[in-house]
A = this chain, B = another copy of it.
Amino acid sequence: MQKEHNLSKNQKIIFDLIDKSGEPMKAYAILFNVQKKGIKAPLQVYRALDKLVEIGKIHKIESRNAFIACQNSSCQISKATAFSICESCENVSEISNSKLSKYLSNFEDDSGMRYSKYNLEFFGLCKKCKSK
């Protein structure tokens, strides 16, 4: 189970926005959306984003510089993330596949280095876009 975090005011505003949108949001799009709620500066957004990423409520889609709400609410998966990204419509969804996460969490390479964290991004065309 995930620890219950009491989000601060800004964190809550920003998390709710991202969560409701259901898709990746960019920092300045977030900023634009929350200005009416009194969050005026980029730094306020980035600080909340940093914290939300840290506690696993959202993830950063690195290849897109965007942030999406965690879709695996019940598991401690913020250090082991995998996403499916459609290169046409830019739809992103979090992959929740226990075989995959087990495989990657236990992965060791020749260096003997053990990994505490990973991020995987898959790219392709989603069903809709493929059939166009």
Contact = CB atoms under 8 A, between A and B. Distances in A.
A112 to B, nearest CB: 7
A63 to B, nearest CB: 5
B113 A127 contact: yes
* Number of copies of this chain that the complex holds: 2
A122 B111 contact: no
Contacts of A86: 113
A117 to B, nearest CB: 4
Contacts of A119: 63, 120-121, 123
B121 A118 contact: yes
Interface of A: 62-63, 84, 86-87, 93, 95, 97, 100, 103-104, 107, 109-127
